[in-house]
Amino acid sequence: MKILVTGGAGFIGSHTTKQLLDGGHKAIVYDNLSRGFKDLVDPRAEFVLGDVSEKEKLKKALSGVDAVIHMAAFIIVPESVRKPDLYYQNNVLGTKVLLGAMEEVNVKKIIFSSSATVYGDPLELPLNEESEIKKPANPYGQNKLDMERLCKDFGEKTGSDVIILRYFNPYGPGEKHSPETHAVPNFIKSTLAKQPIPLYWKGEQIRDFIYVEDLSRAHIAAVTANEYKIYNIGTEVGTKVIDVVNLIFKIVGYTVPINDLGERAGDVPALYTSSEKIQKDFGWRPRFSLHEGLKKTIEYFQTAT
């Protein structure tokens, strides 16, 4: 298939592009490089420098494309709280333009990067795709819900396939957001720099950490899905954040002090998901243990500039 990856110069998009190419697909990366890096883009991919709000450029890039994997977004939660209009413009209105372009050139499949954030603070664990959707705690979460809704409406209107992937906590090589608000890269960078690790809630929160190569592989399955589908992408294992810290210490062979930042408003105590649905439909399951994934991620940060 010929697949256009919006946001393909970012952390998850660059891994997914590589796996598409390895799997014999053709890939076009469409990215404005506002938050991405050209050097993360696989040289075998065609690269188009463009914004998802540029409809004519998109229409040209979409020529002959069978499916779109839509990852382009701003993703920093605290920034979304400070700049909700910017986030709405880039994420929600950008998605609207993309879907309009797809409709005009008759591209009838989209795989959309959503997030576990749509489940808020769940009453029951593990989550599954039928779990209740909660009012998001921040504009980024609201964007993801709005974008899901736009994709669903597009599918109903045009008869297109719409596959929503709700990611849990991705981590792995190539994660270089700025500022970085995610736990794993921050813990690793502090440890390698022999600096104290900033830790909220004494690390008692539970998360479902999914290695980026496993997450990317779920997209290779999803491009073959049809109609309207939602899949949660996680490992089915809830891990305490402090256990991630201790595993990092074990892998590097030393410890650094903890900088106890106390409690943080808006943090959900525990999130992890069943991945039974995608396992059943595609045989997808994670291949990397947390230990293996962290080891590879540490190796990346040891050599990254």
Residues assigned a catalytic role:
140
Binding residues for ligand NAD, rule CB under 6 A, total 29
72 binds ligand NAD (CB under 6 A): yes
Its sign, for the CA torsion 265, 93, 90, 113, is: positive
72-80, 148-156, 197-205, 265-273 -> range binding ligand NAD (CB under 6 A): 72-80
Tell me how far apart the alpha carbons of residues 171 and 168 are, in angstroms, rounded to a whole number.
Answer: 10
127 binds ligand NAD (CB under 6 A): no
> Contact with ligand NAD (CB under 6 A): which of 3, 5, 12, 241?
12
Binding flags for ligand NAD, 272-301, as an x/- string (CB under 6 A): ------------------------------
Contacts of 183 (CB under 8 A, 6+ apart): 169, 171, 207, 241, 244
Tell me how far apart the alpha carbons of residues 195 and 187 are, in angstroms, rounded to a whole number.
Answer: 9
The enclosing H or E element of 196 equals none
Strand partners, 67: 3
Q: Which of residues 137-176 bind ligand NAD (CB under 6 A)?
A: 167, 170
Cis upstream peptide for 126 (omega within 30°): yes
Phi, psi dihedrals of residue 39, rounded to the nearest 5°: -70, -10
31 binds ligand NAD (CB under 6 A): yes
CB of 207 to ligand NAD, least distance (A): 10
Contact 233, 210 (CB under 8 A): yes
185 binds ligand NAD (CB under 6 A): no
69 binds ligand NAD (CB under 6 A): no
Q: Which two tokens stand for residue 127?
A: 């989550």
> Contact with ligand NAD (CB under 6 A): which of 3, 4, 5, 10?
10
231 binds ligand NAD (CB under 6 A): no
Number of H helices, E strands in the chain: 11, 13
Binding flags for ligand NAD, 90-109, as an x/- string (CB under 6 A): x---x---------------
What's the gap between Cα 106 and its chain centre? Answer: 26
Q: Which residues of the chain form contacts with ligand NAD (CB under 6 A)? A: 6-7, 9-13, 31-36, 51-53, 71-75, 90, 94, 113, 115, 167, 170, 177, 182
